[in-house]
Amino acid sequence: MTAGLRIRVRGQVQGVGFRPFVWQLAHRFDIRGEVLNDPEGVLILAHGASVDPFVDALSCEAPPLAHVDAVEIADYRFDTIPADFVIAASVGQGAQTRVTPDAATCDACCDDIRGDDPRRRGYAFTNCTHCGPRFTILNGLPYDRARTTMAAFAMCADCAAEYGDPADRRFHAQPVACSVCGPTLWFEDGSGRLDGDALSLAVAKLKEGAVLAIKGLGGFHLCCDGTNPDAVAALRARKRRPTKPLALMGTEAHIARYARPSKQDWLHLRAPSAPIVLMSKGAALPDVIAPSQNRLGWMLPYTALHHLLLDKIAVPLVMTSGNLSGEPQVIDNDEARTMLADIVDGFVMHDRDIARRLDDSVLQTTRHGTMILRRARGLVPETLPLPAGFEDAPQTVAYGAHLKSAICLIKDGQALLSHHLGDLDDALTWDEFVKADADYAQLFDHQPEIFACDLHPGYRSSQHAAERGGDAVVEVQHHHAHLAACLAETGWPRKGGRVAGIVLDGLGLGSDGTIWGGEVLLGDYVGVERRAWLRPAPLPGGDAANRAPWRNLLARLDQAGMVEVADDILNDAPRALLRQAVERGVNAPLSSSAGRLFDAFAAALGVEGDQSFEGEAAMKLEAMAQRAPLNAEYAYPFADGDDGLDPAPMWDAWLGDQMTGTHPEAMAMRFHAGLAQAFAAKARALVISGEAQAVALSGGCFQNALLLELTVLALGDVPLLLHEKVPANDGGLALGQAVIAAAQALARR
C-alpha cells in the first residue's frame, strides 16, 4: 500500500474545464493518480512529493468559470503507485455539486468563427470549455454529454480528438461541435425552409424592416433593426407591448456610441453572464424603444450566432423575449411556428433542443453597487452560501410570490434561487412554474422537509405549497420575506441580532390582514415587529387601482382634504362613483403601499392613462426626477402621525409648487427625497437607540436607483445591508421565505 491523498473539491467545478486543469497541474507538479466528476463535485486521488503546492493551486489557479467553495483533504492508500495521472470516467448520479450557468462566447472562440479553419469559420455553435451553453442544455447530473441535448449529435473524428485531449481547450467541453457534426442553422418563413446562408437571409430581411424570431440559448428572441422606428413600432404592435422598454444587443462600438457606460457597466457587459445592463442614453435611437425613459438596456452578443449576425448587419438590434407580453418565452421550434407566426416575418432556427427556458438577466449599476433586476440566464443556477448558523438547516423549498415568481431550494448550507418565472396569472407561466418545481427537485436531488410560501392564500404559489407540503407548509409574511432575503444575501448571521428593514413595494398581505407596502420592520429571520408604515389609503376599485394611477391620486388627495383639487385635476374621471365605493368600503381596501403612492404622484405630474406594465408610472416618475439636479435638502415633508407616515403635508407643498410654476422634474425630485427621508428617519432611530444593529433596504421600489441613493444618503453612517445578487423585487422573495422557514425550524430544535 502506498500513501496518498483523497482530495474533494466542492463548488462550481463541473463543466468548467476543471478536470483538464487538474490534469495539467498534476503533470506540472509530477503528481500521479486520477481525477473524476461525481455527484459531490470533483474527486482527486493524488500521489507525489509536491502534493502540497498542487493542492494550493487547485483554488488559486482555477479556471475562469470555476468557483471553488472547499477543498477537503483526507489520507488515501493506493494498492500500487500509479503509473500516470489520468482523467477517469464520471461516476454516480444525483447532485451535491453546483451546475455552471451558460457562459458568453469567449475571445478564443470568437477568433475561431472569424478565422481560417473551415470547420468553425462562420459556425454558429462554436464553443469550448470556457464558454457556451450549460444549464440550458442540461438534462441530468453529472454533467456529461449523454445527459445534455447535445447527445443527439455524434462527434466527428476531429471534434472527438479535441474532446479527448486534456491539453486542448475543448477537452470534455460537452457541447463541442463543428460544421461537420454539430447542430445546423437555417432560415424559414411561412413557406418553409429557404435555401442559402441563414444569417445572410436574416440580415436581408432585417434591413427591409422585418421582425424575426431568432433561437438563442434559453429561448427565442424577437429581433428587428434598432435604428428603424417603423420596425420597432411593428414589433411592439404585434407583441402587444405598447410601452415597456425593449432590450438592445450591439457591439462594444454600438454601446459606446448609443449609451454612456461606466467602467463597472463594461465589466458587467463583458462578464461570462452577459446580462442586459441598464445605462443612460447616448446618441439618439428611436424613442419608441423606451418611451419616456432616460436609459436603455444593452447586452453584448453572447453566442457565436449573435456575433455572426451583428458582424453581417453592423447596426444595433432590438432583442426581446420571443413571446406575447405576459407569456413565457418560446423555446421549441414547433411551438415557435405556432405561437410566433402572427408576430414575425421569418425564423432563424436550429436543431439543438433547449432543455429549459431562461430569459436574459437584467441589472443596473448604482452608486452603491450592482443591483440585479431579473436573475436568469448566466446567473442561474449559481448558489448562494447561507449565513453562519444555517449549516444544519433542513432541506427547504420556497415558492415565492405571484408576480415575478421564482423558487428557492435550501440544501447543504447553500441556497439555490431559480430563474425568473413570471406572472402566475398566466396559464402558460403557471405550467412553467410547476415544471420548474419538478425540474429543480430532480436535477439537484432535492427532498424538502419544509415548504414555504407567502401568507396570501390567493397566490397560486401558496396554493401549490399547500398541495405539496400539507402540514409541513410555513406561511411567511410578504415584507418579512423581503427583509430576510436581504439579510441572507448579505451574510447576516442567523443570531446576528435585530435589523431595521425599510421595505417599500407594491402590495403584500400583512400579518394584520390589511395590505402593506411601505413599512419599517424590526426583527430577524425568526420574526419581526412593524414599527412604522405609510399611512394607509383606499385602493379605489381594488386591483384596478394597480393599473390606473389616477385612482390612487384621487384617494390620496381626498384623504389629505383636497377634494376640490382632485375635482379640478380629475374632472373627467368617475369620481362620485369611486368616492361612494370608498365611503361604503366596497372594493376599496386600505393599503400602505409605497408603490401606489408613486403612482399617485406620477398622475399628479401628468402621467396619464392606465399602466401597460407593472411599475410603468413609477419608472416615468424616476426618469423625470433624474432630469433634475440631485437635491436632498429640498424634500417634500411627511407628517409622523398615529396612523403612520402621512403624505398630506407633501400634497400641500406640491400644490404650492404647482401654483408657483415649479418645474415637474424638480417636483419629482422633491417627492423622492421626501419619501426617502421619512422612512430613513424611522429606521435610523432604531439603530441609534440600540434596538437595531443595521438597516436593510428591500422591496421593488428600491429598484429605483434614485430612491436608493437618497435613502442611503438620509440614513447617514449607520451600517447598511443592500441587495446585489438577489432582486430587491419579488424575484428575491423565495430566498427570504426559505431562510425564515429554516430559521424557525432550527430555533425549535
User: Where in the chain is CATH 3.30.420.40?
Assistant: 533-722
Is 98 a residue whose pLDDT tops 60? yes
User: Where in the chain is CATH 3.30.420.360?
Assistant: 386-490+724-749
DSSP per residue, 373-426? EE--BTTTT-EEEPPTT-TTPPPEEE---SSSB--EEEETTEEEE----B-TTS
User: Which of the four pLDDT bands, split at 50, 70 and 90, describes residue 153?
Assistant: very high
> Residues 683-729: pLDDT tens digits?
999 999 999 999 999 999 999 999 999 999 999 999 999 999 999 99
User: Where in the chain is CATH 3.30.70.100?
Assistant: 2-87
DSSP per residue, 533-582? EBPPEE-TTTTHHHH-HHHHHHHHHHHTT-HHHHHHHTTTS-HHHHHHHH
Among candidate residues 6, 8, 10, 19, the one labeled active-site is 19
List phi, psi (to 5°) of 8. Answer: -105, 125
What confidence score (pLDDT) does residue 65 get?
87
Q: Which residues contact 553 (CB under 8 A, 6 or more apart)?
A: 566, 569, 570, 599, 600, 601, 603, 604
User: Which of the four pLDDT bands, split at 50, 70 and 90, describes residue 97?
Assistant: low
What confidence score (pLDDT) does residue 99 get?
78
> For residues 223 and 214, is the Cβ–Cβ distance under 8 A?
yes
Domain 386-490+724-749 belongs in CATH node 3.30.420.360: yes
User: Does the annotation mark 530 as catalytic?
Assistant: no
What confidence score (pLDDT) does residue 548 get?
95
Is 96 a residue whose pLDDT tops 70? no
CA–CA separation, 180 and 613 (whole Å) = 45
CA–CA separation, 599 and 166 (whole Å) = 59
> For residues 120 and 110, is the Cβ–Cβ distance under 8 A?
no
Instruction: Identify the CA nearest to 533 among candidates 609, 645, 627.
Output: 645
What confidence score (pLDDT) does residue 405 get?
95
Structural domain 533-722, CATH architecture? 2-Layer Sandwich (3.30)
10 Å CB burial of residue 167 (0-12, 13-18, 19+) is exposed
What mean pLDDT comes out for the span 487-499? 98
Is 446 a residue whose pLDDT tops 80? yes
What mean pLDDT comes out for the span 662-691? 98
> Residues 379-410: pLDDT tens digits?
999 899 999 999 999 999 999 999 999 999 99
Per-residue buried b or exposed e for 672-692, using 16+ beta carbons within 10 Å of the residue's own CB = bbbbbbbbbbbbbbbbeeeeb
Mean pLDDT, the chain, as a whole number? Answer: 95
What confidence score (pLDDT) does residue 749 get?
86
Higher per-residue confidence, 503 vs 2: 503
One CATH from 3.30.1700.10, 3.30.70.100, 3.40.50.300, 3.40.50.2300 for 2-87 = 3.30.70.100
Instruction: Identify the CA nearest to 461 among candidates 136, 730, 135.
Output: 730
CA–CA separation, 542 and 587 (whole Å) = 5
| 96: helix, strand or coil | coil
List phi, psi (to 5°) of 176. Answer: -55, 135
Measured at the alpha carbon of residue 654, what is the angle toward residues 648 and 655, in degrees to the nearest 5?
95
CATH of domain 185-350: 3.90.870.30
> For residues 94 and 35, is the Cβ–Cβ distance under 8 A?
no
> Residues 201-214: pLDDT tens digits?
999 999 999 999 99
- Grid coordinates representing 616 are 410603468
DSSP per residue, 98-163? PPPPPBPPPHHHHHHHTSS-TTTTT-TT---TTSB-SGGGB-SSS--GGGBTTTTSPPPHHHHHHH
If phi over 0 gives left and psi between -120 and 50 gives alpha, with beta otherwise, what is residue 292?
left
What confidence score (pLDDT) does residue 94 get?
53
Cell 443591483 locates to 371
CA–CA separation, 341 and 333 (whole Å) = 11
User: Which of the four pLDDT bands, split at 50, 70 and 90, describes residue 13?
Assistant: confident
> Residues 294-313: pLDDT tens digits?
999 999 999 999 999 999 99
Q: Is the peptide bond before 142 cis (omega within 30 degrees of 0)?
A: yes
- Grid coordinates representing 110 are 470568437
Q: Which residues contact 619 (CB under 8 A, 6 or more apart)?
A: 293
What mean pLDDT comes out for the span 72-97? 82
Task: Give the bridge partners for 223, in sequence order.
Answer: 212, 319
- Grid coordinates representing 130 are 470556457
User: Which of the four pLDDT bands, split at 50, 70 and 90, describes residue 41?
Assistant: confident
Cell 502534493 locates to 51
Q: Is the peptide bond before 381 cis (omega within 30 degrees of 0)?
A: yes
Is 15 a residue whose pLDDT tops 80? no
User: Which of the four pLDDT bands, split at 50, 70 and 90, describes residue 93?
Assistant: low
User: Does the annotation mark 37 as catalytic?
Assistant: yes
If phi over 0 gives left and psi between -120 and 50 gives alpha, with beta otherwise, what is residue 315?
beta
How far CA 677 is from CA of 355, 371, 635, 636, in Å, comes to 47, 21, 8, 9
What confidence score (pLDDT) does residue 606 get?
93
CA–CA separation, 53 and 105 (whole Å) = 32
Is 630 a residue whose pLDDT tops 90? no
What confidence score (pLDDT) does residue 619 get?
96
Is 76 a residue whose pLDDT tops 70? yes
Among candidate residues 37, 323, 333, 546, the one labeled active-site is 37
DSSP per residue, 498-514? -EEEEEEEEEEE-TTSS
User: Where in the chain is CATH 3.90.870.30?
Assistant: 185-350
> Residues 348-358: pLDDT tens digits?
999 999 999 99
Q: Which residues contact 676 (CB under 8 A, 6 or more apart)?
A: 632, 635, 707, 710, 711, 713, 714
What mean pLDDT comes out for the span 468-496? 97
